[in-house]
Structure 1
Amino acid sequence: MTQQTLDRPRARQGRHRPVTTARPATRRPNPRRLSPRTLVITAVAWLLAAVFLLPYAQMVITALRPADELRDATFLPRHFAWSNFIDVWRESSLGGNLRVTLLVATGSTLLVLVVALPAAYYTARMKFRGRKLFLLLVLVTQMFQPTSLLVGLYREFYQLDMLNSVWTLVLCNAAFNLAFAIWILSAYIGSIPVALEEAAMIDGLSRFQALIRVTLPLALPGVVTAVIFTFIAAWNEFVMGLTLSTVPDSQPLTVGINNFIGNYTVQWNYLFAGSIVAILPVVVLFAFIERQVVSGLTAGSVK
């Protein structure tokens, strides 16, 4: 065989090249274009937000209405009376009511924190007899409504000559919010590894110092959650303040706002102006610590 015949297959292989078929180009989804499902969910979310925000918008608009336009059927007033927020302080004891509410909410929150933190730490770290029973009793106390205990509370504080006192409201609000704080703090402290405290005690710290320097900073979201819920509950409390405080100067803000509702007339502009003053501090406070509240509520859900 000659060298030509040996090179023929190679030549044929070089002539017949594999045919490559072009793949159809895949279209990438446009991130700016929303799917119909996303549009429907967004529309429903905006609708629900409007439903929930519409009463607050009506409250703000009514608070800015002049007294002679309160019976008008229009949604917006012809003139905005910004002076309603000034007159509501002059013509009522709302300033004193706000001071009482601040004292009651702050005092109740501090008392709950001082009592709930050691109790939650002990139940989370110590395995003692009756631990589950103790937590069950704490949960049972949360089931009682303050309204069902008002008669007994009024009789007790009347005999102790403690009616119309800020300390009375502080004790009552702290007692009804203590169970929730213990449960939240116990769950959060239980999710913190014990080895961190043991390492701190090996370095020479006592158990109390380890609690203050190690556990408490790590449990800060749970502490903030207990603080904010106790503060809001004490701030918005109405029934006990109405029953245990009969003097206008010793009544909390929720009861002071209720005084704008008379037997025959209702001062709607002052009523809603006072309501805005009452809800604004809580809304601002919750907006600043929302992330830590959510972190504290989800404590112990993931191991």
Structure 2
Amino acid sequence: MRRPGLARRIWLNGTALVLSAVFLFPVYWMLSTSFKSNSQVLTRDPVFFFAPTFEHYSTATGVELFWTYVANSFLVTIGAVLLALAVALAASYAIARLRFRGRRGMLLVVMMAQMAPWEILIIVVYLNARDLSALNSLGTLVLVYFVMALPFTIWTLRGFIAAVPQELEESALIDGCGRGQAFLRVIFPLLAPGLMATSLFGFIMAWNEYAMVLVLNKAPDKATLPLWLTQFQTNFGNDWGATMAASSLFTIPVLIVFVLLQRRVTGGFTAGAVKG
């Protein structure tokens, strides 16, 4: 009876190792390339052992308005995530707890908005922003990213709120709390996994988004880091060393956020998807 169990574990662990190597190798190659000299980057034979150099990181961070791009990215991303959480908390509570006409239709609209590819709406968003004189504005990006993150946030938080026993909220109401106080004191503390999961999703979406900012914000001082990644070109083609250094720097905030939230993220995604 032990042999099949051992063989199964070996097969599963071996498969996991192979898949991990496949997914991690591009990350390793990006990091290693960022520390190679230009001659080592452009050689036909792969170089695995080399003396590291930081010249590509100096090139990447030496781009004009680099720190402006960093500030813009953080401002737009954090603003969109916080706004989406604030609106989604109210909307998901109404969907999960209140009974009103059009509730099922609202859920259907949320699902359709979540599945819609936002790339097909770029022209419409651009025309609306142009007509409202809202081009080259960080506020416009915040609103666009907020709308993009909102359906997933509502859908996930709805599952968490629906999973909280309604008797707990009713007990708080009987004890003299208003509906708002009952939400803040009883339901909100139980939403931590869902808040973590939706915050991470919104952060990654807004941090990585490229198409909208490319179309809406042409002014250099209103751009974000995804546009910064496209600037490393020379007369001889792409500066791959600087590009890989910039890509490595670009991923650091996402990694930090994931490490801080990872304990709650997996449970948040799974629980929010099946409860309610």
Does residue 35 in structure 1 map to residue 11 in structure 2? no
Quote the residue 2:133 is aligned against.
161
Distance 2:235 2:206 in 1: 28
Could you report, residue by residue, the CA deviation over 1:245-286 in whole angstroms, capped at 9, with x for unpaired residues? 112221111111112246851011111111111111111211
Does residue 190 in structure 1 map to residue 162 in structure 2? yes
Residues 173-252 of structure 1: pairs in structure 2 closer than 5 A: 173-252=145-224
Quote the residue 2:27 is aligned against.
56
Could you report, residue by residue, the CA deviation over 1:135-170 in whole angstroms, capped at 9, with x for unpaired residues? 001111223222111111111111222111111110
Quote the residue 1:140 is aligned against.
112
Does residue 256 in structure 1 map to residue 228 in structure 2? yes
Larger CA Rg, structure 1 vs 2: 1
Asked whether the 8 Å contact 1:146–1:240 carries over to 2, the reply is no
Asked whether the 8 Å contact 1:181–1:226 carries over to 2, the reply is yes
Distance 1:186 1:91 in 2: 43
Distance 1:41 1:244 in 2: 47
Task: State the 1:77 CA deviation.
Answer: 5.7
TM superposition score normalised by structure 1: 0.84
Instruction: List alignment gaps of at least 5 residues for structure 2.
Output: none
Which of 35, 38, 42 is matched with 1:71 structurally? 42
Q: Deviating runs (4+, > 3 A) in structure 1?
A: 261-264, 300-303
Residues 1:117 and 1:302: Cα distance change in structure 2 (over 3 Å): closer
Residues 281-296 of structure 1: pairs in structure 2 closer than 5 A: 281-296=253-268
Distance 1:144 1:41 in 2: 36
| RMSD value, Cα | 2.1
SS of 2:237's equivalent?
coil
Does residue 107 in structure 1 map to residue 72 in structure 2? no
Could you report, residue by residue, the CA deviation over 1:201-248 in whole angstroms, capped at 9, with x for unpaired residues? 111111001111111001121122111111111111111011111122
Percent identical among aligned pairs is 34
Could you report, residue by residue, the CA deviation over 1:62-96 in whole angstroms, capped at 9, with x for unpaired residues? 10112233211232364321232233211343322
Which of 219, 236, 247 is matched with 1:275 structurally? 247
Asked whether the 8 Å contact 1:88–1:270 carries over to 2, the reply is yes
Distance 1:91 1:286 in 2: 27
Distance 2:59 2:214 in 1: 24
Distance 2:37 2:47 in 1: 13
Asked whether the 8 Å contact 1:163–1:244 carries over to 2, the reply is yes
TM superposition score normalised by structure 2: 0.92
Asked whether the 8 Å contact 1:248–1:256 carries over to 2, the reply is no
Does residue 47 in structure 1 map to residue 18 in structure 2? yes
Quote the residue 1:93 is aligned against.
65
Q: Which has the higher contact order (CA 8 A, sep 6+)?
A: 2
